[in-house]
Amino acid sequence: MVRSTVTNLGCNRICLVSRARARAALLCAAAAAVTLGLALFLPAAASAAIAPAGVWPASPTLNDPADAAVSLDGEVFVADSLGRRIAVFNAGGGFVRDFDGRDGPGVELVKPVSVAIGPDALVYVADAGSGRVVVFERTGEFVRYIGSQGSAPGQLSSPSGLAFDEAGELYVADTANQRIDVFSVTGALSRTLGGVGGAAAFEGPVGVAVRSGEVFVAESVGNRVQVVTTAGVPIRVLGISGGGSPTNPTVSRYARPAGIDIDPEGNLLVADAGRHLIERCDIWGTVIANWGGIGVLKQPNGVGVSGSGSVYIADTLNDRIAVSSLAGTAITGTWSPTAASSAPGGFSSPSAVAIGPDGTRYVADTANNRVVKFGAGGEYLGTFDHSGSGALSGPSGIAVLPNGTQVFVADTGNNRIAVFSSSGTFVQSLFAGQVSAPQGVSVTEHLFVGVADTGNNRAFLGNVDGVIYYTSGVGQLRLPAGVAADDNGNLYVADTANNRLVFYDGAGKRVRNVGGLGSAPGMFGAPSQVSLVPGGGIVVADRLNGRIEQFTTAGAFVAAYGVQGAGVGEHRDVRGVAALSDGGFVVADTGNHRVVRWGDDATPPTTSILGIADGWSKVPQTVTLRAADTQAGVAQMWYRVGSGSATAYTGPFTIDAQGETQLAAWSQDRAGNTESAKTAWVRIDSIPPTGTLALGDGSGVSPSKTVNALSNVTGASEMRVDQGAGFGSWRPFAPGVALSFSADGTHTVTVQY
């Protein structure tokens, strides 16, 4: 601040005092623009690759749900542990969305077992598989993660339970480390309860809840709920009786307690997995009510309650959410999206799929004893579910004539191949009395029919009139479940119980075996349906490995697609596959009761840059990157600040450089597609203007009522003036400003820049 003061007591003069005040404002600091050589850091664009491209029905099934949490607006967030994702439902059980971390930098969920809604309305997920807590927006965008795999302070090993206290601190049941870790609202380790040397000794802590300064810990090994202070001092134990002597042995009423929550009335809800029930008790352990029991629930591992008293139970081994309320002890409903369904367009253990020449999909809906028909875009077209001679029993294989006019079904329970028109009219039975529980069928343009005659441990080639040309595999095959035939009479057989493929030539002679038991590329776990790829090659449903494997017709391994699970790009007990003419394929995802289309993915991810202020800022900017990819999923995100090197994104980062800094960000998906870099400018000026102010000729006295204010200031873009009555509006900076005064006397002028 520069001050110049001159005082004169003469009557015909104006006496002035000048004051210059710096303004810490948004300034347009000069900076040279830099053209960045992005090509030096970006991987080369990949060619189109196969990735998930559609699912029927649209909402995924639950696979060992482990916990549930309820947001203030009633949405229910489910930790779908083997589905490796968070599934979100509305209060009525309708599926809303799901997310699995694939849009974040290396934060894909591995085994989410607990979920909580934080006081900041973010979703906190205990990922036992990766040893950390992953934080998401409610819409699924990655925010940050807390902890890492290990046993050092701040690290986690199989975290299994989450809770927040009134101050917003996060309590994590760090199961394998036998402790409760407490993190601040910023994610920094605050303290540890229990563990080596701790006052409290925990035995398998898997659930945690906090109320009024007391921490309730469900111990799956100790079969108890231990209560400690927020500093870790033991207070009491719930669920244990007896004195520990031979005449008065210690007895627990729990059998592997898991999840725990506090209801709106301040009581405890304990998911007792070993007793297959939910217990409600007060904070002293007095039982109020129980829900479930054997035959109702099956090893429930988590429980969540809404503010209105609705209770949501993670009924783990029933693959569903069970619903009740605090007003009663009955289970009033269950949510099990796309589990075994006989509704139009639904499935129950679909085992095979075939594609017509117009792209129509025909699905052998095994447990519903029918064929379900969809259009090329996945729209439901109807079912073949006849009575009488056209009735099906456990259909397990399906094929379509290349001209699309007839559909051949391996009608397993009726020991035949059933033939229908493409509209569903029953036409005839083939090979009745000659086959036993056939599970695979194939038909060619030359009207050859290949059959996997499962119950007879053989495969054969016949024709559409029911004539058998040759039989193969007797004494070689064990429970063959899939077959593909070509127009040369060759057969490609899934030798299921022997975990291999067997190729036969047009005379029925075995040519080669491919694969063997295992999960390595080219190996199998109970291979099932086989399909020929237009243009060459075969694809096989590798059932127990949850994937589709592709080979050349000479038996060379080409690629594998999918893994075990229920999320995007995952299958469970996959039994069926049919190749498409565009290079993709359609999968009967049996254990997830759905059909999945895989197709070319040539579309790169889309990255968003968040957290940058518009225009200039006087404070450092914290930047968050997000990326989305609707098919293969995001594999990695990168960024570069200024002319620096490319950096893999692992979480929010800060830019504090003065002036203008260009930020570039881009992502790559799991199919190898890389997007062009997005750019943004970060403009920071935290240095206030500096300089001097002079009034008039600098003498401090003016004979005129109009005086020039002369500013010798650098770094200013705006200014405002106070002539004694308060500051006026901000205006563009000018070195000289004419000021007018109405009366003689001493005046103080303050200018802010």
For the stretch 670-700, pLDDT in tens is 777 889 999 999 998 888 888 888 887 777 7
User: What letter represents residue 44's amino acid?
Assistant: A
Q: Residue 246: CB partners within 8 Å, gap ≥ 6? A: none
Confidence (pLDDT) at 25: 32
- Alpha-carbon separation of residue 643 from 34, 37, 38, 621, 672 (angstroms): 8, 8, 9, 18, 25
User: Confidence class of residue 197 from pLDDT cuts 50, 70 and 90?
Assistant: low
Of 51-60, 171-180, 183-192, 661-670, least confident by mean pLDDT is 51-60
Confidence (pLDDT) at 308: 85
User: Which of 217, 227, 230, 115 is closest to 166 using CA atoms?
Assistant: 230
| pLDDT over 60 (residue 303) | yes
| pLDDT over 70 (residue 31) | no
For the stretch 127-178, pLDDT in tens is 998 899 999 999 888 888 899 999 999 999 999 999 999 999 999 999 999 9
Taking the C-alpha atoms of residue 586 and residue 167, their distance in angstroms, rounded to an integer, is: 51
Taking the C-alpha atoms of residue 129 and residue 567, their distance in angstroms, rounded to an integer, is: 16
User: Confidence class of residue 6 from pLDDT cuts 50, 70 and 90?
Assistant: very low
Q: Residue 99: CB partners within 8 Å, gap ≥ 6? A: 85, 86, 88, 136, 139, 140, 141
Give me the chain's average pLDDT, please.
84
Sign of the alpha-carbon dihedral angle for 599, 569, 638, 139: positive
Q: Residue 247: CB partners within 8 Å, gap ≥ 6? A: none
User: Mind spelling out the 3-state secondary structure of 36-90?
Assistant: CCHHHCCCCCCCCEEEEEEEECCCCCCCCEEEEEECCCCCEEEEECCCCEEEEEC
CA-derived radius of gyration, the chain: 35
User: Which of 753, 571, 603 is closest to 676 using CA atoms?
Assistant: 603
For the stretch 451-507, pLDDT in tens is 999 999 999 999 999 999 999 988 899 999 999 999 999 999 999 999 999 999 999
Of 41-45, 192-196, 541-545, 652-656, least confident by mean pLDDT is 41-45
User: Mind spelling out the 3-state secondary structure of 157-186?
Assistant: CCEEEEEECCCCCEEEEEHHHCEEEEECCC
User: Which of 156, 276, 265, 261 is closest to 216 using CA atoms?
Assistant: 261
User: Mind spelling out the 3-state secondary structure of 612-647?
Assistant: CCCCEECCCEEEEEEEECCCCCEEEEEEEECCCCCE
Exposure of 155 by Cβ count < 10 A (0-12 exposed, 13-18 middle, 19+ buried)? middle
Predicted TM-score (pTM) of the model is 0.57
Confidence (pLDDT) at 30: 25
User: Which of 603, 596, 632 is closest to 378 using CA atoms?
Assistant: 596
Taking the C-alpha atoms of residue 9 and residue 25, their distance in angstroms, rounded to an integer, is: 38
* Count of C-beta atoms within a 10 Å radius of residue 353: 28
User: What letter represents residue 223's amino acid?
Assistant: N
* Count of C-beta atoms within a 10 Å radius of residue 198: 17
Longest dimension (CA), the chain: 129
Confidence (pLDDT) at 12: 30
Answer yes or no: are the C-beta atoms of 76 and 321 closer than 8 Å: yes
Which of 311-314's residues contact partners 24+ apart within 8 Å by CB, and which partners?
A: 311/263, 311/269, 311/278, 312/68, 312/70, 312/76, 313/68, 313/271, 313/278, 314/65, 314/66, 314/67, 314/68, 314/78, 314/79, 314/259, 314/271
Give the length of the chain: 753
| pLDDT over 60 (residue 733) | yes
| pLDDT over 70 (residue 245) | no
Higher pLDDT among residues 562 and 415, named by residue? 415
Buried b (16+ CB within 10 A) or exposed e, 468-503: bebbbbeebbebbbbbbbbeebbbbbbbbebbbbbb
| pLDDT over 80 (residue 36) | no
| pLDDT over 60 (residue 32) | no
Query: Which class would CATH give 343-430?
Result: mainly beta
- Structural domain spans, the chain: 64-335, 343-430, 606-684, 693-752
Domain 64-335 has CATH 1.10.1040.10: no
Taking the C-alpha atoms of residue 327 and residue 310, their distance in angstroms, rounded to an integer, is: 9
DSSP secondary structure string, 517-577? BSSSTT-BSSEEEEEEPTTS-EEEEEGGGTEEEEE-TT--EEEEE-EESSSTTEESS--EE
| pLDDT over 60 (residue 47) | no
Confidence (pLDDT) at 334: 72
User: Which of 593, 568, 591 is closest to 57 using CA atoms?
Assistant: 593
End-to-end CA distance of the chain: 11
For the stretch 596-651, pLDDT in tens is 888 777 788 888 888 888 888 888 988 888 887 766 677 788 999 999 999 988 77
Taking the C-alpha atoms of residue 172 and residue 209, their distance in angstroms, rounded to an integer, is: 10
For the stretch 55-102, pLDDT in tens is 555 555 777 899 999 998 889 999 998 888 898 988 877 778 888 887
Answer yes or no: are the C-beta atoms of 485 and 444 closer than 8 Å: yes
Provide CATH code, domain 606-684: 2.60.40.10
Confidence (pLDDT) at 523: 96
Exposure of 581 by Cβ count < 10 A (0-12 exposed, 13-18 middle, 19+ buried)? exposed
Two structure tokens written together for 250 = 């210690």
Taking the C-alpha atoms of residue 55 and residue 566, their distance in angstroms, rounded to an integer, is: 11
Answer yes or no: are the C-beta atoms of 95 and 80 closer than 8 Å: no
What percent of the chain shows pLDDT beyond 70? 88
